[in-house]
Amino acid sequence: MEKEDLIYLCTAIGNLSGIPIRIYQNDERIFYYALVDLPKDPMIVYQNDIWTINSHVGYYATPFFHYYGIINYKEYKIIVGPTFQLESTEHELRNLAFQADIPVKEVDRFIMAMKNIVHMPLSSVLQMLCTFNFALNREKLTLEDITIYESEQRTLDQLFADRMVDNRWDDNQPEKQEDVYTSYSVEQKLMDIISMGQTAALKDWLSTAPAIRPGILSADYLRQLKNIFIVSATLASRAAIRGGLDAKTSFSLSDVYIQQMEHLHNPDQITNLQYHMIMDYTERVERIRIGDHPTQLAIQVANYVQNHLYESITVNQLSSALYISRSRLTARFKKETGMTLTDFITKEKMKEAKRLLQFTSKSLEAISDYLAFSSQSHFSRVFKKCEKCAPGEYRRRVKLLSDDDTER
């Protein structure tokens, strides 16, 4: 197919699907088309990972559950996306804008454009890729022929595979009462850790936890793993709700993980995704918990702050959002948590600032803008007051510690 014909075909697919599409020829972008007005292509955040996909058809799932479809044809790489089945939160889109270096004045436009991209189930994305691939490579593929590329696949350890889904049981042996008790105890411990948002405890526990012996859910081993995954997703979502995670968010997350799992055909990929899912739920709960026994009000405040962390948050905004007077809100929150609302908001912003300083190379100005400080100097003053050192000094310290650990 000639280049002009390929561009014509991609334009038609972009119009029919409502999803951005681009063509690269020998690593140089020669075509881009989108019905939405994105100030910058978010694909650049994941370009290095996407470029490793060299099969005729593949797809990439981002940490925000945005999907990119990839078709390789001769010297061309065609990339469709992002699309998604569930609507992204403003918090997630602001995070993505930050990673893509979207200027602050363009962030709202970026978020609006992302929200206007057509939502498409993963199975529909894969079917579109199969059809497109047949037109180009004359290759008849089914959905089962397409495997997911997981950036975490290289780094997720096998603890969960070894401990939580042990495939070494003998199904011909009757299940002993102590096996039932052990499995129930392990399950309850895991749910307690998720509901408490204890990510450090989860990592430690997974390294020593006894294997769970699941019931006979299917005679087929792969189907057995998938059924176990579905049960785990249900339990994890309910444990997270018990820990304060919004029910709609929790159930939607469970649906997305299950749909992603159903397209996997490798046991290691399934168990690794299961590990990732449980860690994801635990981390989300950890971000909204205040103390060991947070009240309903504290959970509501924490949820609001997490969802608006990259905006300027005021007590008046919080009181309006929670339908409670400012005076009553401030008094109750201080009584129930031992800290003022302003201190809590600042504490959460500083936690995020430290994470960004440690794990990204973004400038202090970019981090300051991202966290909605009035200026970089204001951000630096607040950071130094809370952490007893300047942001740049903190970054240097954690880098030195990281380098020391690497050398060991």
d(CA 90, CA 350): 20
Same domain, residue pair 166 and 281: yes
The pLDDT of residue 408 is 56
Q: Six-digit token pair at 102?
A: 């979207």
pLDDT for residue 364: 93
Residue 193 and residue 140 share a domain: no
> What pLDDT shows up at residue 55?
87
User: What is the domain count for the chain?
Assistant: 3
User: Are 319 and 370 contained in the same domain?
Assistant: yes
Asked if residue 161 and residue 248 are part of one domain, the reply reads: yes
Q: Smallest Cα–Cα separation from 370: which of 105, 190, 154?
A: 105
pLDDT of residue 382: 94
30 and 11 fall within a common domain: yes
Averaged in consecutive runs of 10 residues, what is the pLDDT profile of the chain (408 residues)? 91 93 93 94 92 88 85 94 83 88 90 92 84 90 62 40 40 44 64 83 70 49 81 87 83 84 80 86 81 78 86 91 92 90 92 88 91 93 93 89 62
User: Do residue 107 and residue 29 come from a single domain?
Assistant: yes
Q: Is the pTM of this model over 0.95?
A: no
Is the peptide bond preceding residue 267 cis, with omega within 30 degrees of 0?
no
309 and 188 belong to one structural domain: no
pLDDT score of 243: 83
**Whether residue 209 is found in the same domain as residue 262:** yes
User: What CATH number is attached to the domain comprising 338?
Assistant: 1.10.10.60
* Strand-pair category, 148-149 with 57-61: parallel
Among 95, 120, 149, identify where a domain stops: 149
Last residue of a domain, one of 258, 288, 318: 288
Can you give 337-405 as a three-state secondary structure string? HCCCHHHHHHHHHHHHHHHHHHHCCCCHHHHHHHCCCCCHHHHHHHHHHHHCCCHHHHHHHHHHHHHHH
The reply to whether 174 and 278 lie within a common domain is yes
Parent domain of 354: 296-407
Residue-level pLDDT at 160: 39
Beta strands (DSSP E) in 194-289 are: none
Same domain, 183 and 281: yes
Location of structure tokens 């997630």: 92
- Note whether 63 and 156 are same-domain residues: no
pLDDT of residue 265: 78
Q: Which of 149, 177, 197 is the last residue of a domain?
A: 149
